[in-house]
């Protein structure tokens, strides 16, 4: 999110949000979908990232809009309904 992996044009395309987008499993707060990235709006402010599931695991990764703060959570339990 800090601008070292993708140029500003690519980031602008990623952050063009689509109505009704929702990550699966659902992350905290309100969700909106961009190009390969989701915008989450929990109580602490807007973050950009993704959730994901793999048999036996659930992940959540996000960063603040400027990329200076990030969080990654990985659980060894699949939270997606089967």
Which pTM value belongs to this model?
0.65
Closest CA to 29 of 58, 3, 1, 51: 51
Long-range contacts of 55-62 (CB under 8 A, 24+ apart): 58/25, 60/27, 62/27
In the block, tokens 């980031």 appear at 11
Mean of pLDDT values over 48-64: 85
- Residues 18 and 34: their CA atoms lie apart, in Å, by 6
Q: Identify whether the C-beta of residue 42 lies closer than 8 Å to the C-beta of residue 53.
A: no
Question: Which three-class secondary structure state does DSSP give residue 25?
Answer: coil
Percent over 70 (pLDDT), the chain: 73
24 pLDDT more than 80:
no
């Amino acid at each position: 999110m800090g601008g070292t992996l993708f140029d500003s044009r690519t980031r602008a395309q990623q952050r063009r949000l689509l109505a009704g987008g929702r990550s699966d499993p659902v992350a905290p707060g309100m969700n909106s979908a961009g190009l390969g990235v989701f915008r989450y709006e929990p109580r602490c402010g807007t973050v950009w990232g993704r959730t994901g599931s793999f048999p036996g695991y659930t992940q959540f990764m996000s960063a603040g809009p400027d990329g200076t703060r990030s969080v990654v959570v990985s659980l060894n339990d699949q939270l997606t309904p089967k």
